[in-house]
Amino acid sequence: MCERVHGGRTEPQKTTYLLKVVRSPSLEPLNMGHLLPAGLLSLSFLRLFVVTGMSCSLFTFISQPPSSQSQEKDTEKKESEPNSEAKNQQNFVKERLKLFEILKKDHQLLLAIYEKKGNTSNVITVRVADGKTVEGEVWKTTPYQVAAEISQELAESAVIAKVNGELWDLDRPLEGDSTLELLTFDNEEAQAVYWHSSAHVLGEAMELHFGGHLCCSTPTDEGFYCDMFTEDRAVSSTELPALQSTCEAIIKEQQPFERLEVSKEVLLDMFKYNKFKCRILNEKIKTPTTTVYRCGPLVDLCKGPHVRHTGKTNAIKIFKSASTYWEDNPEMETLQRVYGISFPDDQMMTDWEKLQEEAKTRDHRKIGKEQELFFFHDLSPGSCFFLPRGAFIYNALMDFIRVIPSFLTCVFPCFTLCLGECLLQSLPESIHGLTGYSLTHCSSFSWLCPWRLTSMDSISWAAYLP
């Protein structure tokens, strides 16, 4: 399932799925959570409906995906349309989109079946956080529609919804009576969603530019980043402006975020070209189904939720690239990581850029060099070499800490990075009245490595000044 797709066209593989039966003993509204997830149906599958009196049964016989002939017709139709998504797409992107569209139509069919089931009322009550109550229709009314009924300005300013305490896409239909809260960008949870959606925009741009295998699109406390496997290709900082231009074009298209719940087996087939996605599915997804989100040509494993469309990312900045490892393990594959940040308006971006410029003037590496306080050298990576001025400040701080009654000082040699932690864990229950727990009050550790001190005895300090 995890073999890569190289070069030419791959023949569609036959896939066998399970028979599913969904029953409703009465004409009461079906719990759509029990319906088949997208991916267990196909438009070419045989469906048999038996409706008798007050009972309804849906038998779905599942075979294999549509024939290659019908797939080729769909491909020819899509390629003939002047769609910007068709440009520079790899073969796996086209196959992924094709399968997503099949799954989407299956999901829409299930909703249509539910709507025609009977005459039972589907009215639901939605209580908004400010005390207002709005009536809606189950599996049709969305949080965005509820917000728009109250105020269009409220609907447009909302980043994400919270339904019964759970973060919820603004365009995802409500499944029953609900309590609705609308979150704007000044909310921390909304910011995380906003930057997560922006990370998907960046992921789409990276696929178009580098043609690699996307590993993750992750929000952080100060923006977002994407990791991509690009074989031996490194992402240069000179490529970031072009990457940002592509992101801005994606934002301008206002591509909607579409959510589907799909069976794990089908997703393994969808992402068979990407060994990293297969690892996630096999090692971390413990449920029979999980969700994917689409924006433009990008379809990615994601729990969501997301903003309504890419156009909500008004201002975006792609500002840094670096190398990393899969799951931060040096023994695993090397990945390319690209960082970005985004905001709902240009003024926020301007303020952020100003803060970054101010932060550069406060950079400790810059100040340490300019004021001759300290420097760094490969002789001791990550350790600071204090010059006389820096040593004076260091000792003054140490003297200040020593007079604080609740602090104790420990000094010991450290030959490895984990020695300090190991010492704390292996100390006897009590040494001179100190326990391992009370050592958390230690103010500092002196990283004294005898070999380092010896190596510096006969070396002129001036030779290592920046």
Q: What is the pLDDT of residues 17-26, one digit of tens each?
A: 333 333 333 3
Write down the pLDDT at residue 120: 62
Between these two residues, 37 and 349, which has the higher pLDDT value? 349
The per-residue pLDDT for range 264-307, each reduced to its tens digit, is 999 999 999 999 999 999 999 999 999 999 999 999 999 999 99
* Winning range, highest mean pLDDT, from 33-47, 149-163, 424-438: 149-163
Rounded to the nearest 5°, which phi and psi values hold at 207? -60, -40
- Quote the tokens at residue 387: 């010059």
Reply yes or no on whether the pLDDT at 244 is more than 70.
yes
Residues 6+ apart with CB under 8 A from 97: 85, 294, 297, 299
123-184 with 189-257+306-361: one CATH topology? no
Tell which residue, 186, 126, 136, has the closest CA to residue 160: 186
Kindly list the domain boundaries of the chain, sorted by start residue.
123-184, 189-257+306-361, 371-464
Cα torsion 110, 111, 114, 119 to 10°: value is: -160
Tell whether pTM > 0.85.
no
Tokens 């940002």 identify what position? 244
- Exposure letters 55-76 (e unless 16+ CB within 10 A, then b): ebebebebeebbeeeebeeebe
What's the CATH code, domain 189-257+306-361? 3.30.980.10
What's the CATH code, domain 123-184? 3.10.20.30
Helix axes 240-253, 188-210, angle to 10 degrees: 110
Between these two residues, 414 and 71, which has the higher pLDDT value? 414
Pure H helices in 403-449: 419-426
